[in-house]
Chains A and B, each alone.
Chain A
């Protein structure tokens, strides 16, 4: 990997990090277990590695933004995640922030192109 590619990769990861958290929180307004959540996000164009998504779910749960429960589905025990009430509150604030940033960045880009 060249220096430029490496730099691009680092910036890309930095850019994606916050966006992924937001997408996961939004998607978990509806209950999912890890694999189906990954599939839904991928269908919407947001590919996330297993090794990124599953630990992220654990971290968000530890921060109180998600709740989880083990339940049997298709003869297999799975851990289902859902947005907690604290998570819902923070998500609303994050969405306001996201829309403001998105609008500002888009306006800046449109202005420059």
Chain B
């Protein structure tokens, strides 16, 4: 039967070449036996229309051939949860890294709206490249694990080594004495810290983001900041970056509820560095005159008062920071003692 031959030929084209002759011979034997039965039942050969209906009922050649192949996935159901987790994690971290990179680049080079726009417009490209790379890697793993089963059990079973106690806390359950925070809340806080960092990095080139129109008065004023402010500024930038990284790691590890007091203490301790730097300068000369020879007589008194006020404020800030640190240490020691006492009972 011509139609059956054509059908089998079409199926054969979609079969793997090593097995196609064997499969087609078996399929032919089965279909010819079926055809004989049909024709015996009718008492005549099938008409072309009937044969077409019969073959159509069996299915399209490509689909029939596909059934003889092992089920093929780009990324199969065993690997998919791991792939999805890695994809989301990679996209999250790449976005953060890219944003920080672009912000630093914009702040260090000559900042302009065109550079900001270019940075934003490249976001889809960066995300697509990340997603494509992760997908490609997992497609290769899937292919290898299908072709050579048993060699990739650790990846397929990822995360293999886990304990229930390492799971993130329930979102409504906060650490004692803290307000409960959802993951979305924690991510929003990270975004705010990141924006704060960008704002800080913009300050040297664009002081109007801090002072607004007051910049004009500042440049015309007879006063100027001492160089120690720059050292303190970079300390603050470093502390903000540290806080950003800390929060990102906490979210990644699912511990955004648990490490708040530790983070607060670390920030308070690090905050003492710029304060110490500022307090250590001689004569409390935080502000100086641009032209001392010309302006000393006129502005000397005011300058002295300003520097004394700044010094007092810094001392106050330092005291608050130390108290915060001591308070945090006290609470932490008390918690440790309570836990130890509970364990001993």
Interface residues of A (CB under 8 A from B): 33-36, 38-39, 49-52, 54-55, 58, 76-79
Q: Is B74 interfacial (CB-CB < 8 Å)? A: no
Q: Does B25 lie within 8 Å of A51, measured CB to CB? A: no
> DSSP majority for the A interface?
helix
Contact A35 B33 (CB under 8 A): yes
Q: Which residue of A lies closest to B27 (CB)?
A: A54
Complex formed: what's the CA distance from A54 to B67 in Å? 9
What are 25 A-B pairs with beta-carbon distances under 8 A? A34-B26, A35-B29, A35-B33, A35-B34, A35-B37, A36-B33, A38-B30, A49-B58, A49-B59, A50-B31, A50-B58, A50-B59, A51-B59, A51-B64, A51-B67, A54-B26, A54-B27, A54-B67, A55-B68, A76-B29, A76-B32, A77-B25, A78-B33, A79-B25, A79-B29
Interface status of B196 (Cβ within 8 A of chain A):
no
Task: Please name the 6 residue pairs, one residue from A and one from B, whose CB atoms are nearest each other, closest first.
Answer: A55-B67, A34-B30, A35-B33, A35-B30, A51-B59, A51-B64
Asked if B309 CB lies within 8 Å of chain A CBs, one says no
In angstroms, Cα B63 to Cα A52, docked, is 11
Complex: A79 Cα to B34 Cα, angstroms: 15
Count contacts on B: residues with CB < 8 A to the other chain.
Answer: 17
- SS class, residues of chain B in contact with chain A: helix
CB distance from B233 to the nearest CB of A (A): 60
Query: Is B51 close to A, CB under 8 A?
Result: no
Scan residues 270-318 of chain B and give those whose CB is less than 8 A from a CB of chain A: none
- One of A33, A52, A78 near B67 (C-beta < 8 A): A52
Min CB distance, A47 to chain B, in Å? 12
The reply to whether B29 and A33 contact each other, CB–CB distance below 8 Å, is yes
Interface check B23, CB cutoff 8 A: yes
Query: Across the two chains, which residue of chain A brings its CB closest to B69?
Result: A55
Contact residues in A for B67 (Cβ distance below 8 Å): 51-52, 54-55
Binding site for A on B (CB under 8 A): 23, 25-27, 29-34, 37, 58-59, 63-64, 67-68
Q: Nearest-CB distance from B14 to chain A (Å)?
A: 12
Nearest A residue to B71, CB-CB: A59
How near does chain B come to A105, taking the closest CB pair, in angstroms? 25
Residues from chain A with Cβ under 8 Å of B59 in the complex: 49-51
Give the distance to chain A from B338, nearest Cβ to Cβ, in Å: 49
A62: shortest Cβ distance to chain B, in Å?
9
Q: Which chain B residues border A58 with CB–CB below 8 Å?
A: 23, 68
Most buried by B among A33, A38, A50: A50
Query: Which chain A positions have C-beta within 8 A of B30?
Result: 33-35, 38, 50, 54, 78
B178 to chain A minimum Cβ distance, whole angstroms, is 45
**In the complex, residue of chain B having the shortest beta-carbon distance to the beta carbon of A57:** B26
Query: Contact check: which of A52, A55, A78 meets B29 at CB < 8 Å?
Result: A78
Closest to A50 in B: B58
**Listed residue (B29, B31, B32, B58) with the most chain A CB atoms within 10 angstroms of its CB:** B29
For A35, A49, A51, which residue has the most chain B Cβ atoms within 10 angstroms?
A51
CA gap between A103 and B30 in the complex, in Å? 36
**Residues on B with beta carbons closer than 8 Å to the beta carbon of A49:** 58-59
In Å, the complex CA distance between A76 and B28 comes to: 10
Bound-state CA distance A79–B22 (Å) is 10
Once the chains are docked, how many angstroms separate the CA of A38 from the CA of B26?
Answer: 14
Q: Which residues of A contact B23 (CB under 8 A)?
A: 58
Assess the B63–A51 pair: CB atoms within 8 A: yes
- Minimum C-beta distance from A81 to chain B (A): 10
The residue among B30, B34, B63, B68 with the most chain A CB atoms within 10 A of its own CB is B30
A51 to B68 alpha-carbon distance, docked (Å)? 9
**Taking the nearest CB of chain A, how far is it from the CB of B77, in angstroms?**
14
Give, as a whole number of angstroms, the nearest-CB distance from A75 to chain B.
Answer: 11
